A and B are shown apart, each in its own frame.
Chain A
Amino acid sequence: MADKILKKLNIKVWRQNNAKDKGKFETYTIENISTGSSFLEMLDILNNKLILEGKDPIAFDHDCREGICGTCNLYINGRAHGPDTEVTTCQLHMRKFNDGETITIEPWRSKAFPVIKDLIVDRNAFEKILQAGGFISVNTGGVPDANTIPVAYEDAEESMDAAACIGCGACVAACKNASAMLFVAAKVSHLAKLPQGKIEAKKRARNMIAKMDELGFGGCTNTGACEVECPKSISITNIARLNREYLKARFSE
């Protein structure tokens, strides 16, 4: 079956030259977009048009285009990664939109994610949080045999679920407080659930939270918006675990 064609779309998009520029919205029209194309393909087509018209193309981040790298971050029509669930923007398709619609595209908005250009934000803050505690110490030497450290099935499952986080930042973007709690909770949880992660458990929770606060992310008020907008459906029960890990670490000081 041939895909339907969207005859005309209005694309209202945030344009900002650099971090210092104030930025503003521009609206472009684009014609004949297949509902089978992805959202990023639609932007590619729009950019081609802009280039032919001698205009500056819209800068947006993307890499894998298969939902695993977490760079394609757009806030579309008031939602992180747009009007679909459990997908990143690159996995969003134009069949989710209607002919004649005005589509508003904004960058992630957070004090800790400053805009670099147009729709691209600097997500180094996540890197800094990981450097503060998202690691385990491993002794040097030969590679240990597989399965020498027993891990309970339930723990392995929960750990893997948390490890599915791709660091895209949709949780921050969707949160009314621009809080990074779901990201930090995922990173703390996937290590806390495994024996290998136990050694640094206390330091990890403390340092990652301290870094998160320092970088200007907001606090969590358990609205649950992050879980809904997370492309990997990371559960907010991980946030309860993070709270527990943190309080344990603090009170055993």
Chain B
Amino acid sequence: MSKFFTASIGRKLIMSLTGLFLVMFIAVHMTVNLFLIFDDSGELFNRAAHFMATNPAVKIMEPILGLGFLIHILWSFLLEYENWRARPVKYDKKNPEVASSWTSRNMLVLGALILVFLVVHIIQFFWVIKFNPESMKSVVIQGVQMEDTYLLVSDLFKRSVVYDIFYVIGGILLGFHLSHGFWSGFHTLGLSNKNWMSRLQIISRVYAIIIAVGFSVIPLYFLIKF
């Protein structure tokens, strides 16, 4: 087994498994976030956020998710470094556009930018909710007292155009990363053939657009409406 993970396909399998795990997470994350724009009183989102913060299943998933991110990120840098080393003398003249998409060639660039976004995002929301809830206002919904997560998020988006743009860009970057990552993940697992490859590529694009639009629309909503 140890040989397995040092072999190129084994290492690649780790990228794909962690990547597809993150794909599932991101779908749930986006769905919950969309509650932000479907109820301006904030009740819907607050209840969802409270559920996510207190549910034991989510609690178990949290460290696994963190680990998934960590492995995916560290592994991606390692793999790209090794792939980079496989060509010690670079070409003088390159013309890669004809043969492959920019996105597929720049997964690490996109990933690294997403990482920058992720750090800011975690500091802004996750950290506050998790480790400094005293700083947040609280609300009572149906007799249950909980943190006003809606206020935390909506306040930022109403207040700061810069962060609105920052979050829109974050969503778009993720969309690009996934437009290649999604089908590539299946390909790596061997779950592709001559019929399914083009179908997976289409699903990949559709999924990427849903994610990019789904996330971007939230800051835009607060920017335009308030």
A interface residues, Cβ below 8 angstroms from B: 14, 25, 75, 77-79, 104, 106, 109-112, 158, 174, 176-179, 209-210, 212-213, 216-225, 228-229, 235-237, 239-247, 250
* Contact of B92 with A by CB under 8 A: yes
By secondary structure, the A interface counts as mixed
* Contact of B82 with A by CB under 8 A: yes
Contacting pair A222 B188 (CB below 8 A) = yes
User: Which B residues are in CB contact (< 8 Å) with A217?
Assistant: 8, 86
User: Which A residues are in CB contact (< 8 Å) with B188?
Assistant: 220, 222, 243
**B93-105 to A contact mask, C-beta < 8 Å, 1/0:** 1111011110011
Binds A, one of B9-17, B112-120, B131-139: B9-17
* Contact of B143 with A by CB under 8 A: no
By secondary structure, the B interface counts as helix
User: Which A residues are in CB contact (< 8 Å) with B7?
Assistant: 209-210, 213, 246
> Once the chains are docked, how many angstroms separate the CA of A237 from the CA of B180?
15
Contacting pair B93 A111 (CB below 8 A) = no
Binds A, one of B36-44, B159-167, B192-200: B192-200
Contacting pair A240 B86 (CB below 8 A) = no
> Once the chains are docked, how many angstroms separate the CA of A246 from the CA of B189?
10
User: Which A residues are in CB contact (< 8 Å) with B99?
Assistant: 79, 174, 223-225, 228-229
Contacting pair B197 A237 (CB below 8 A) = yes
Residue among A78, A111, A219, A244 making CB contact with B8, cutoff 8 Å: A219
User: Which A residues are in CB contact (< 8 Å) with B100?
Assistant: 176, 223-225, 228
Output the nearest chain B residue to A110 by Cβ-Cβ distance.
B87
Residue among A14, A79, A244 making CB contact with B190, cutoff 8 Å: A244
